[in-house]
């Protein structure tokens, strides 16, 4: 199965979607933040990318399925361990 034909049907959109899939595959196993538009944001470990869908596992072991066509921004997260105490 080849790349999915986007809703607008242009070749340029197919290439952009392929590039996003390639980028997300490079982030397999890493924790990322994903923003889709202005109101939807997700954080989790990238567990898979296939057929235009990003699979993210959150801290509660729930899996979110994100349509790659809807992704606006991807950030890699620094996963610093919380250290309780006073900050000077």
What CATH number is given to the structural domain containing 17?
2.30.30.100
The answer to the question of residue 6 being in a domain is no
Tens of pLDDT along the chain (88 residues) come to: 444 555 555 655 556 578 899 999 999 999 999 999 888 999 999 999 999 999 999 999 999 999 999 999 999 998 665 666 666 6
The answer to the question of residue 35 being in a domain is yes
Domain that holds residue 26: 11-76
Identify which of 63, 85, 72 has the alpha carbon closest to the alpha carbon of residue 39: 72
The answer to the question of residue 23 being in a domain is yes
The answer to the question of residue 85 being in a domain is no
Which residues, in sequence order, are CB contacts of 65 under 8 Å at separation 6+? 53, 54, 55
72, two tokens: 């606006």
CA 14 from chain centre, in angstroms, equals 17
Residue 13 dihedral angles phi and psi, to the nearest 5°: -65, -35
> What is the count of structural domains for the chain?
1
The answer to the question of residue 38 being in a domain is yes
The answer to the question of residue 83 being in a domain is no
Which pTM was predicted?
A: 0.72
Identify which of 30, 11, 24 has the alpha carbon closest to the alpha carbon of residue 66: 24
The answer to the question of residue 24 being in a domain is yes
13, two tokens: 């959109």
């Amino acid at each position: 199965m080849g790349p999915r034909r986007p809703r607008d049907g242009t070749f340029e959109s197919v290439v952009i979607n392929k590039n996003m899939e390639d980028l997300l595959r490079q982030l397999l196993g890493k924790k990322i933040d994903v923003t889709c538009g202005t109101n939807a944001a997700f954080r989790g470990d990238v567990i898979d990318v296939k057929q235009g869908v990003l699979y993210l596992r959150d801290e509660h072991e729930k899996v979110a399925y994100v349509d790659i066509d809807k992704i606006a921004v991807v950030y890699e997260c620094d996963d610093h361990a919380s250290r309780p105490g006073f900050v000077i």
